[in-house]
Amino acid sequence: MANAMKLNNRPLGSSGIEITTVGFGAWAAGGGGWIFSWGAQDDAESVAAIRRSIDLGVNWIDTAAVYGIGHSEEVVGRALREIPAGQRPLVFTKCGVVADPAKPFGPVTRTLRPDSIRREIEQSLKRLGVERIDLYQFHWPDETGVPIEDSWGEMVRLIAEGKVRAAGVSNFNVDLLERCERIRHVDSLQPPFSMIRRKAAADVIPWCAAHGTGVIVYSPMQSGLLTDSFTAERMAKLSEDDWRRKNPQFQEPNLGRNLRLRDALRPIAARHGVSVSAVSAAWTLSWRGVTGAIVGARSAAQVDGWIAAGQLDLSPADLDEIARAIGQTEAGEGPARPEQAGASAGG
């Protein structure tokens, strides 16, 4: 086994859970053949990547029922069975995006009906092979007309029954957060957040900081754009079922702006002796209120590429340089510089 690194830890809001500032994201482990696929993925490679992250000190995995229409949770469950009990990570998953297995490329339904939530958690517990989910999250707001109060009330019942330890939401705005908070404290929020997608820094992240709600950000490397090796040529070679082919950030003129921003990170990465990927993830962790960043990997080697983010504190000069690069490249939108840096910015 590899020697675990001393990764930074932060409390997940007031939940009582301590997490490493980087966690393993298992979206791509869902494999190919569904609407939000990253293309074909070897399950053994996914398990090896999970094992590598745990060996290096990561203490949580984030997945969702819809990833691969259950397949990602099955792969995570397989990895958990291979990890000694004393080293097992915290398991976070999500519900509320329902796909028809008979139509994997068909539309998904964002539903938070209480009976649907209950069906989903029973399936997730079985696939993951666990008795309790450490953090259960609503993946997206409901689009079927269910009041969030009814949905969050069901989450409270799942906690009372011992099926869920902590309760969170993903992709929620301030209004929905406040409506949930009136019923039961929201332990965590999972928003999209990167140097390109920065809007969360203007509203939901400050709300969470003020309310003792942890924040675990997703896509801190903007789904691969803010990594060392991504190119326009690689974009052209993505598999036909890779969701990024249709995403505006991967199309011109955004693609060129985003890659110029990525290139501006290379000197900073070189100064710290780390990868651009690590700088990208560490930047999200520099914002007050952010607890951790979900970082994906499709192989053990990719984990090695970003793991240093869990130890990296960017300096004020680094953050100034990044803010200038954001302005010069006109990449993305939202606030460009955190007010303070380093470990003191924890959630």
Q: Using CA atoms of 190, 191, 194, 197 in order, give the dihedral in degrees to the nearest 10.
A: 170
Distance CA 162, CA 141 (A): 24
**Residue 279: pLDDT band by 50, 70, 90 thresholds?**
very high
Residue 32 structure tokens: 């190919």
DSSP annotation of 231 reads: -
Residue 162 structure tokens: 């011992």
Mean of pLDDT values over 329-341: 84
Strands 60-62 and 90-95 turn out to be parallel
Query: 177-202: buried (b, 16+ CB within 10 Å) or exposed (e) per residue?
Result: beebeeeeebbbbbbbbbbbbbebbe
Distance CA 67, CA 160 (A): 27
Whether pLDDT at 343 is above 50: no
Contact 49, 81 (CB under 8 A): no
CA angle 174, 59, 267 (to 5 degrees): 75
CA angle 158, 159, 163 (to 5 degrees): 65
**Residue 224: pLDDT band by 50, 70, 90 thresholds?**
confident
Side chain identity, residue 188: S
pLDDT digits 0-9 by tens, 286-299: 999 999 999 988 89
| Residue of 56, 54, 46, 60 lying closest to 84 (CA atoms) | 54
| Residue of 71, 192, 76 lying closest to 128 (CA atoms) | 76
pLDDT digits 0-9 by tens, 36-70: 655 566 789 999 999 999 999 999 999 999 888 88
Packing angle between helix 316-329 and helix 254-264, nearest 10 degrees?
Answer: 160
**Residue 341: pLDDT band by 50, 70, 90 thresholds?**
very low
Which residue reads 């397989």 in tokens? Answer: 78
Which residue reads 């409270």 in tokens? Answer: 156
**Residue 347: pLDDT band by 50, 70, 90 thresholds?**
very low
pLDDT digits 0-9 by tens, 89-122: 999 999 999 988 787 777 789 999 999 999 999 9
| Residue of 16, 18, 36, 35 lying closest to 26 (CA atoms) | 36
Q: Count the alpha carbons within 13 Å of 241 in the hemisphere toward its beta carbon.
A: 17
Mean pLDDT computed over every residue of the chain: 90
Contact 65, 123 (CB under 8 A): yes
Q: What are phi and psi of 203, to 5 degrees?
A: -140, -65
Whether pLDDT at 199 is above 90: yes
Whether pLDDT at 229 is above 60: yes
**Residue 223: pLDDT band by 50, 70, 90 thresholds?**
low
Residue 147 structure tokens: 């009041």
Which residue reads 């793991």 in tokens? Answer: 307
Task: Note the Cα 302 to chain centre separation in Å.
Answer: 16
Whether pLDDT at 240 is above 80: no
**Residue 247: pLDDT band by 50, 70, 90 thresholds?**
low
Say what the pTM is: 0.91
Whether pLDDT at 34 is above 70: no
pLDDT digits 0-9 by tens, 126-179: 999 999 999 999 999 999 999 999 999 999 999 999 999 999 999 999 999 999
pLDDT at residue 344, rounded to an integer: 37
Which residue reads 């297995």 in tokens? Answer: 101
pLDDT at residue 108, rounded to an integer: 86
